Amino acid sequence: MPIVVPRSFALKCVLFLLCVVLVSLISLYKPAQLAQLINLEAAATEDEDFVGLNEDDPRLIEYIRQHVIVPPSTEPYNLYYGVNHDPSDGQSKVIDELLNHKLNGFYIESGGYTGEVMSNTLFFEIQRNWTGILIEPNPRNFKKLLSRNRKVHSANACIGETKAATKVVFRNENIRGDIFHSHEYYYIGYPWDLSIAKCFPLYSFLLALGTTTVDFLSLDVESSEYKVLQSIPWDKLDIKTLSVEYNLIPEGKPALIDLMKSKGYIHYMELNRPYSNDLIFVKQEVWDNSKVRKRALPIIDINNTMSWIARSNFES
Ligand SMILES: *[C@@H]1O[C@H](CO)[C@@H](O)[C@H](O)[C@H]1NC(C)=O
Ligand SMILES: *[C@@H]1O[C@H](CO)[C@@H](O)[C@H](O)[C@H]1NC(C)=O
């Protein structure tokens, strides 16, 4: 009796084999640019031999001082909207109130973006005489940032997600730049603008600048926020207030709030605007000394933002 193979079964077999071939082709394929980057990553020059150094390793701190931190500009400001414009989405005002209009403070802003549009710290620098550091990994944005002549330190780098220095593949998108994780490699063929970025622990930046007190940490790193905060040695630092973008973190907003509460912070406000989804945190003792007593949660002021966006030339 002849063996009869049903036609539909044969068809299924062929389709299955085609699928197997297709999947293996996809998994073998890496975009040329990415392959190039991976080679670049492998070939570190001698002065870049910082990968894996621990956050307080003196060699790492020296490397950051010598090769990463750009000192404040001594040139006059070069701002598109001038020195009297607060380009933040409201964060500066909230933090300023919480800190009783504190003068001569210190901030960290990451990402620094292009140094003006949407800057949460320009107000403190100009109106409150603060100093600090702007951290921005996207080379194009960083160039623009330097052209503003801000009177604070800058670094073309990122704040890392771990307690050691790393190099990562960074995705340079105009307004949304982030660390490109290997599980995203399946987005093949898309013309991502990728580069290698140096990431350092937040603590290392502070040691390099000789301070451990931060009056305001503005953290907007497009999905790494939770991991960055989790890696901070809170017992060695005094961070008084934070504005943290929450809407892209895979851990979720409640986990972020829990983490910050466990470190002694009050979840003071949620700020939702077209370009900001931030949680504002304030350290318990700072809150106790603040003249602000009312908690407004959340604030949504669409009108204000719309008029601001109309004036915000992102390419300026
Ligand atoms: C502003 O800050 C600088 C140091 O960054 C300091 O020398 C100066 O006295 C401050 N000015 C005022 C008015 O506090
Ligand atoms: C926004 O502005 C318009 C016109 O200026 C006004 O009619 C409206 O009530 C405002 N909306 C809010 C939520 O303030």
CA distances from 107 to 34, 142, 159, 252, 269 (A): 34, 18, 14, 25, 19
Ligand 1 mean position to 227 CA, how many Å? 34
Q: Into which CATH architecture does domain 10-313 fall?
A: 3-Layer(aba) Sandwich (3.40)
Q: In sequence order, what DSSP letters do the residues of the chain get, joined into one string?
A: -PPPPPHHHHHHHHHHHHHHHHHHHHHH---HHHHHHHHHHHS--GGGTTTT-BTT-HHHHHHIIIIIEEPPP-SPP--SS-TT---SSSHHHHHHHHTTT-SS-EEEEE--TTSSTT-SSHHHHHHS--EEEEE---HHHHHHHHHT--SSEEESSEE-SSSB-EEEEEE--SS--EE--GGGTTSTT----EEEEEEE-HHHHHHHHT--EEEEEEE--TT-HHHHHHTS-GGG-EEEEEEEE-TT-TT-HHHHHHHHHHTTEEEEEEEEETTEEEEEEEEHHHHHT-S-------B--HHHHHHHHHH--TT-
Band of the pLDDT at 43, cuts 50, 70, 90? low
Average confidence (pLDDT) over 217-234: 94
Which ligand does the CA of 129 lie closest to? 1
Which ligand does the CA of 307 lie closest to? 2
Residue 127 in contact with ligand 1 by CB distance below 6 A:
no
Ligand 1 mean position to 268 CA, how many Å? 29
Report which ligand 1 atom has the smallest distance to the Cα of 151: 5
- Give the model's pLDDT for residue 65: 97
Report which ligand 1 atom has the smallest distance to the Cα of 103: 14
Q: Please indicate whether residue 290 or residue 273 has the higher confidence score (pLDDT).
A: 290
Band of the pLDDT at 89, cuts 50, 70, 90? confident
Rounded mean pLDDT of the chain? 85
* Closest C-alpha residue for ligand 1 atom 1: 129
What is the tens place of the pLDDT at every residue in 153-163?
Answer: 999 999 999 99
Ligand 2 mean position to 308 CA, how many Å? 14
Which ligand does the CA of 124 lie closest to? 1
- Give the model's pLDDT for residue 40: 57
- Give the model's pLDDT for residue 170: 82
